[in-house]
Amino acid sequence: MKKRILLAEDDSNLGSLLRNYLQAKEYETSLFVNGRAALEHFKSGMYDLCILDIMMPEMDGLEATRRIRARFGALPRVIALTAQTFPEDREQCFAVGMGDFLAKPV
């Protein structure tokens, strides 16, 4: 069974590039342009991994992670995707329940 990944990235070029890469690695990948859309879709399906951009319109990745953790607990694993790479940015991601951190450009 393919692993399912939820990807939220508001930059359409980067989002498409990441989705294509993950699909080429045989992951089933759903792409959303903001945290609100990703969270709504997350509620209707099970994912093995979420990769969330930190700075998105409507709802950022931090708030989406807070809501995922509040409703679903420790699973799935959530990875931050961001150009903000200062130590305090990483700490903020980990504080809301993200398990790892990918710096842009990926």
CB distance 33 to 8 below 8 Å: yes
Q: Is the pLDDT reported for residue 43 higher than 90?
A: no
Q: Is the pLDDT reported for residue 45 higher than 80?
A: no
Token pair for 44: 């209707």
Q: Is the pLDDT reported for residue 71 higher than 90?
A: no
Predicted TM-score of the model (pTM): 0.93
Q: How confident is the model at residue 102 (pLDDT cuts 50, 70, 90)?
A: very high
pLDDT at res. 37: 93
Rounded Cα distance between 83 and 89, Å, is 10
CB distance 97 to 66 below 8 Å: yes
What percent of the chain has a predicted confidence (pLDDT) above 90?
Answer: 81
Token pair for 103: 């710096």
Buried b (16+ CB within 10 A) or exposed e, 40-67: eebeeeebebbbbbbebeebbbbbbbeb
pLDDT at res. 21: 96
Q: How confident is the model at residue 49 (pLDDT cuts 50, 70, 90)?
A: very high
> What is the residue type of 8?
A
More confident position, 106 or 28: 28
pLDDT at res. 105: 84
